[in-house]
Structure 1
């Protein structure tokens, strides 16, 4: 879809710090992360919500989410992760996307209040490279 920012990223029309690039999926850093290393996993096809995800893509999508959840621990030193997605309500981009947020005890994240941060110049590329290395090592 021409007006979907995630479709534009997938098509190469917008820059993103890509972490995982597979035939059916793409994962990249959120531009306004909850914590640095916050990844968005999206299907390459424009699929609006989880209920719309074809059965044949479910296992690959979840397997990639598992790998990304491990990568934030192995590649960034997080103690764990928060994995979530919205469907329609609070879905900022109407393209299915799963958030993988690195977590550490005492990081201040409470409930569903998602404060956002920003990367310093060049910092996001470093985070993406560390996550890619952790994915390649697994």
Structure 2
């Protein structure tokens, strides 16, 4: 598997995942290479819940270089069949939470691979029951806004959250 190199990025504070990657705590590793590590979640939704994590510290999805992001997804895809066999679960949720409002509690970017079985009690309800269905004008307006931001080079290179790698 190709392992792209990632530029170093300084941490913004203490990070338990950086501790795990650095060997400062116990971790049950199921995959590792030069840029990625995958280990079992210590608070699993279901047995076999794995986290795929870059070795370098990035907090949010938009901070991760595109080549590294692609590599992390390749690692996740490599793990899925083995995870299904090992856990005996036929299905998988792939979950990325980016930012506190999205429910990210460890501020080191990671991908959850959650083995799933019928009736396991876990749910990510989509469509979200409390959401109202927008009208076509609202959908078209948001699509146009996103599209125009993608075409505007100043919007892509602006501060922080619009930055592209």
User: Which category describes the TM-score, using the shorter chain as reference length?
Assistant: 0.7 to 0.9
* Kept in 1: contact 2:48–2:86 (CA 8 A): no
1:1-138 matches, cutoff 5 A: 1=11, 3-88=14-99, 89=101, 90-111=103-124
Task: Using structure 2 for the length normalisation, give the TM-score.
Answer: 0.64
Moved more, 72-81 or 6-15: 72-81
Provide the aligned C-alpha RMSD in A.
1.3
- Which fold has the larger relative contact order, with Cα–Cα distance below 8 Å and residues 6 or more apart in sequence? 1
> Across the two proteins, how many residue pairs are aligned to each other?
112
Question: What's 1:116 paired with?
Answer: none
Secondary structure of the equivalent of 1:58?
Answer: helix
Moved more, 73-82 or 26-35: 73-82
**Structure 2 residue ranges without an equivalent (≥5):** 1-10, 126-165
2 CA distance for matches of 1:110 and 1:97?
Answer: 19
Q: Computing the radius of gyration over CA atoms, which structure comes out larger, 1 or 2?
A: 2
Moved more, 54-63 or 17-26: 54-63
**Structure 1 residue ranges without an equivalent (≥5):** 113-138
Task: Using structure 1 for the length normalisation, give the TM-score.
Answer: 0.76
